[in-house]
């Protein structure tokens, strides 16, 4: 069986990051199933749901760590989809139900951001073989770096190894050990890494693609992006502004997961960049 990563080598990465305005990162050591959150042994965690407002990920330290008791306190980090510092909390699993219905977590006692995750690498092997094989190989290559954590399904197995840098607010794909070593210690997005960027999850897919196109063309991060009209994205860079024409075009057909059926694949294509 050809792995999905090999089949999808020609699919563009730009604009493929999962969309989420906030992230809940919940430390759950031990093994994870195919649907890690829904099948979590901690009942309160299994009831949490993800959407484009919030994405829930299970995270764990690399290596073999015994599963904790299902009623032991859990550590939760909350971050924004556009990056920045994380909130760190420790709560009893039953309190997750209350926290889940709260508009913000400001009322909860936050801890100093100790042992803070930086680069979350998807290693959810039960979900897809490529994440298990390539994700774990990347984790091993980074050794004992304190910012490296494993995470559950990020989406885009065919782009493995795929990872979320929570401080930068950037999702990466097809990371090599050399690039990952440079990426992990930077708090800001560097245009030199544009070819392995999938996008910022705080942005809609077309804005993610525009973001990366501008990094490639101008060598710097845009100050702002907005949907100008259908098929056109407006941007500002310093004192200048412009319009980016963007559309989706079919680029081939391949499975999106190992062992899955072949499906049409498309990518965001930049047609023109012009002054506003």
What CA–CA distance (Å, rounded) separates 220 from 215?
Answer: 5
CA angle (198 as vertex; 1, 251 as ends), nearest 5: 55
Helix and strand numbers, DSSP H then E, in the chain: 7, 14
110 lies in some domain = yes
141 lies in some domain = yes
In percent, how much of the chain has pLDDT > 70?
A: 92
138 lies in some domain = yes
Domain with 42 in it: 1-203
Average confidence (pLDDT) over 180-200 = 95
What are 129-169's pLDDT values in tens digits? 888 889 999 999 999 999 999 999 998 888 989 999 999 99
Q: Which pair of structure tokens corresponds to residue 48?
A: 């949490």
Average confidence (pLDDT) over 88-95 = 86
Q: Please give the biggest Cα pair distance in the chain.
A: 58
**pLDDT over 90 (residue 189):** yes
251 lies in some domain = no
What are 119-135's pLDDT values in tens digits? 999 999 888 788 888 99
45 lies in some domain = yes
Q: Where are the alpha helices (DSSP H) in the chain?
A: 4-7, 43-46, 93-101, 129-130, 136-141, 177-184, 205-218
Supply the pTM of this predicted model: 0.92
What are 7-29's pLDDT values in tens digits? 667 788 999 999 999 999 999 99
214 lies in some domain = no
Structural domain total, the chain: 1
Burial of 53 from C-beta contacts in 10 A (0-12 / 13-18 / 19+): exposed
28 lies in some domain = yes
Looking at the DSSP assignment, which residues form a beta bridge with residue 74?
91
244 lies in some domain = no
């Amino acid at each position: 069986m050809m792995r999905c990563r090999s089949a999808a080598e020609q699919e563009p990465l730009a604009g493929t990051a999962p969309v989420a305005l906030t992230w809940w990162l919940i430390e759950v050591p031990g093994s994870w199933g195919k649907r890690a959150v829904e099948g979590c042994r901690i009942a309160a965690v299994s009831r949490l749901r993800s959407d484009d407002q919030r994405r829930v990920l299970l995270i764990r330290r690399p290596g073999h760590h015994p599963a904790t008791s299902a009623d032991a306190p859990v550590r939760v980090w909350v971050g924004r989809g556009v990056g920045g510092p994380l909130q760190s909390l420790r709560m009893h699993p039953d309190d997750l139900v209350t926290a889940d219905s709260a508009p913000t977590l400001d009322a909860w006692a936050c801890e100093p951001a100790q042992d803070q995750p930086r680069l979350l690498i998807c290693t959810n092997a039960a979900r897809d073989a490529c994440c298990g094989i390539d994700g774990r190989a990347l984790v091993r290559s980074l050794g004992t770096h304190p910012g490296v954590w494993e995470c559950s399904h990020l989406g885009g197995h065919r782009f493995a190894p795929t990872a979320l840098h929570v401080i930068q607010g950037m999702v990466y794909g097809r990371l090599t050990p050399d690039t990952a070593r440079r990426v992990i210690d930077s708090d800001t997005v560097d245009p030199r890494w544009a070819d392995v960027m999938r996008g910022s999850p705080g942005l809609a897919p077309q804005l993610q693609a525009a973001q990366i196109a501008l990094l490639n063309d101008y060598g710097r991060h845009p100050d702002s992006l907005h949907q100008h009209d259908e098929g056109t994205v407006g941007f500002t860079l310093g004192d200048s502004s412009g319009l980016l024409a963007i559309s989706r075009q079919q680029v081939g057909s391949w499975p999106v997961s190992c062992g899955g059926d072949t499906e049409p694949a498309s990518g965001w294509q930049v047609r023109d960049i012009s002054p506003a």
